[in-house]
């Protein structure tokens, strides 16, 4: 079995940012319009009036201040509240492929690698733009990579599950190096008319190069010491969109065909599961929790991350121990923990241990122990 490293990471950040105030203004305009339009039915008790959203609530409940998006205008238009992403000809690269390629080029550059050094592409993300052909195969073609490509979806945990799949392929000698990418247009599946969740997501793409340790030459190497995955079925985060929808007309356009969650239950269920999994994983590798210099956690909710690190460390984590990017990116699903890793790794001294961890729908949890070279 070959030893395996992460030798480069990349990030694509979309060009537009939406602040909480901008998002709330659009939402509240929609709410006022809805309540005016349905005033009679609301007065008769036939309909519930909608409540306004608030920036103060969003920041306090989640830690999110703004989010990057691929389209701002369509989301903020109170008549639309959906990003406008025009269809493209099949002769052009798709938008997920394009984002993935941006992130991948940076990861390749940091790894000191070219397309010719890569033997496989894994696109691991929550929201694939089509059923087939696999976006990974399109990314492969766009970058000129030989070998194989496939898509996989484990919701917000896709990147850690993708890392394990990539590491396995390299360890077993099936590939010299794998490009694992996480293009996420979360705003495509977010219901911007739902007060409970309209603020949660943003868009981004991340990329990671995984290769044989004995062949890696980059200055950004981390040993993949070990990975550990866990899934446990739950309906608390769900999206029922799919190709069977057309066979059940009664469900078309219903709210469950976009992201829905029981946020409070998710918070309560997932935090202890994540702390336990990471704790167990470290113990199995004889690494005291106190030796971990950095936790690159999934970026969904600041309070969740504070609780998880408190459970692990028995004290509040210092800001540098569990870096936060969700304040400006919001939840970018699988990309979140990789954005934190990408932006907050260069300052670590050689030998430092870190844990990259994701968690989300499924439930699904991934923990990857890394050691800086
Ligand atoms: C979604 C989340 C931020 C909501 O925070 P919360 O503290 O649980 O908030 P609740 O939904 O319980 O709502 C608390 C109150 O705020 C209100 N509220 C909800 N959304 C609001 C908004 N946008 N603006 C103002 N008030 C709001 C609720 O109506 C409720 O009021 P009440 O106490 O009078 O009933 C939080 O539950 C969360 O992040 N959970 C984890 C989700 C997660 O990680 N999911 C993974 C996705 S992949």
Q: Can you spell out the DSSP letters for 297-334?
A: E--S-HHHHHHHHHHHHSSPPPGGGS---HHHH-B-TT
pLDDT for position 273: 98
pLDDT for res 37: 97
pLDDT value of position 56: 97
Q: For residue 103, what pLDDT is reported?
A: 98
Looking at 67-194, list the stretches that DSSP marks H as alpha helix, in order from N- to C-terminal side.
Answer: 73-76, 95-111, 135-143, 158-171
Q: Which residues pair with 204 in a beta bridge?
A: 184
Residue 337: exposed, middle, or buried by beta-carbon count in 10 A (0-12, 13-18, 19+)?
buried
Give 195 Cα–ligand 1 centroid separation in angstroms. Answer: 9
Burial class (CB in 10 A: 0-12, 13-18, 19+), 250: exposed
Report the distance separating Cα 15 and Cα 270, nearest Å: 32
Report CA(74)–ligand 1 centroid distance (Å): 24
Whether residue 185 contacts residue 96, with contact meaning beta carbons closer than 8 Å, is answered with yes
CA of 207 to the centre of ligand 1 (A): 31
Residue nearest to atom 14 of ligand 1 (CA): 61
| CATH code, domain with 283 | 3.40.47.10
Confirm whether 319 is domain-assigned. yes
Domain total for the chain?
1
- Atom of ligand 1 at shortest distance to CA of 156? 48
Ligand 1 atom nearest to 155, measured from its CA: 48
Q: What is the distance in A from the centroid of ligand 1 to the CA of 200?
A: 10
The secondary structure of 182-218 as a DSSP string is EEEEGGGG--TT-TTTTTSB-EEEEEEEEEEGGG---
Ligand 1: residue of 20, 27, 28, 61 to mutate (most ligand atoms within 8 A of CB) is 61
Is residue 279 domain-resident? yes
Query: Residue of the nearest CA to atom 2 in ligand 1?
Result: 263
| Owner of token pair 């033997």 | 119
Residue nearest to atom 16 of ligand 1 (CA): 57
Give nearest CA residue, ligand 1 atom 29: 196
Nearest residue (by CA) to ligand 1, atom 15, is 57
On whether residue 130 sits in a domain, the answer given is: no
* Inside any domain, residue 293: yes
Residue 13 lies in a domain: no
CA 34 / ligand 1 centre spacing (Å): 21
Give dist(CA 2, CA 6) in Å, integer.
13
Q: How far apart are CA 192 and CA 155, in angstroms?
A: 19
Question: How far apart are alpha carbons 153 and 113 in whole angstroms?
Answer: 26
Q: What does the pLDDT read at residue 259?
A: 97
Task: Report CA(278)–ligand 1 centroid distance (Å).
Answer: 26
The pLDDT, as a whole number, for residue 271 is: 98
N- to C-terminal Cα separation, the chain: 19
Determine, yes or no, domain membership for 347: yes
CB within 6 Å of ligand 1 — which residues?
A: 53-54, 57-58, 61-62, 156, 195-196, 237, 261, 263-264, 266-267, 300-301, 304, 331, 360-361
pTM for the model: 0.97
**Residue 266 included in any domain:** yes
Per residue in 248-302, pLDDT (tens digit) is 999 999 999 999 999 999 999 999 999 999 999 999 999 999 999 999 999 999 9
Helix axes 158-171, 335-343, angle to 10 degrees: 70
Residue 303: predicted pLDDT:
97
By residue count, the chain amounts to: 373
- Cα–Cα distances in angstroms (integers) from residue 339 to residues 159, 330, 367, in the given order: 11, 11, 15
Q: Domain for residue 367, yes or no?
A: yes
Residues 358, 337: contact at Cβ < 8 Å? yes
Buried b vs exposed e over 134-148: b needs ≥16 C-beta within 10 Å? bbbbbbbebbebebb
Listed as ranges, residues in the chain with pLDDT below 50 are none
What's the domain range around 343? 222-372
Q: Is 125 a catalytic residue?
A: no
CA angle 24, 158, 19 (to 5 degrees): 15
Catalytic residue among 97, 125, 156, 186: 156
């Amino acid at each position: 079995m070959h030893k395996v490293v992460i030798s480069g990471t990349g990030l694509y950040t979309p060009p537009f940012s939406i602040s909480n105030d901008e998002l709330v203004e659009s939402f509240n305009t929609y709410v006022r319009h809805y309540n005016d339009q349905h005033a009679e039915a609301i007065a008769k008790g036939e309909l519930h009036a909608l409540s306004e959203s608030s920036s103060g609530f969003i920041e306090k409940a989640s830690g999110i201040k703004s989010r990057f998006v691929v389209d701002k205008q369509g989301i903020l238009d109170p008549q639309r509240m959906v990003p406008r992403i025009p269809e493209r000809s099949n002769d052009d690269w798709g938008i997920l492929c394009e984002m993935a390629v941006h992130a991948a080029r940076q990861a390749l550059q940091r790894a000191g690698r070219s397309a010719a050094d890569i033997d496989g592409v894994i696109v691991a993300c929550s929201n694939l733009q089509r059923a087939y052909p696999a976006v990974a195969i399109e990314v492969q073609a766009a970058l000129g990579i030989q070998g194989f490509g496939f898509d996989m979806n484990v919701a917000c945990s896709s990147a850690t599950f993708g890392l394990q799949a990539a590491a396995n392929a390299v360890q077993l000698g099936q590939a010299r190096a794998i490009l694992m990418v996480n293009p996420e247009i979360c705003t495509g599946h977010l219901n911007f008319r739902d007060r409970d969740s309209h603020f949660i997501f943003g868009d981004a793409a991340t990329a990671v190069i995984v290769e044989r340790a004995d062949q890696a030459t980059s200055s950004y190497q981390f040993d993949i010491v070990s990975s550990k995955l866990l899934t446990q079925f739950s309906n608390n985060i769900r999206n029922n969109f799919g190709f069977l929808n057309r066979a059940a007309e009664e469900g078309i356009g219903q709210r469950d065909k976009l992201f829905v969650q029981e946020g409070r239950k998710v918070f309560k269920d997932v935090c202890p599961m994540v702390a336990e999994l990471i704790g167990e994983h470290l113990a199995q590798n004889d690494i005291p929790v106190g030796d971990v210099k950095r936790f690159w956690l999934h970026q969904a909710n600041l309070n969740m991350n504070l609780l998880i690190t408190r459970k692990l460390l028995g004290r509040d984590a210092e800001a540098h121990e569990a870096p936060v990017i969700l304040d400006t990116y919001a939840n970018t699903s699988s990309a979140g923990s990789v954005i934190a890793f990408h932006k907050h790794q260069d300052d670590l001294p050689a030998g430092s241990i870190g844990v990259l961890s994701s968690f989300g729908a499924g439930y699904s949890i991934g923990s990857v122990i890394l050691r800086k070279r």
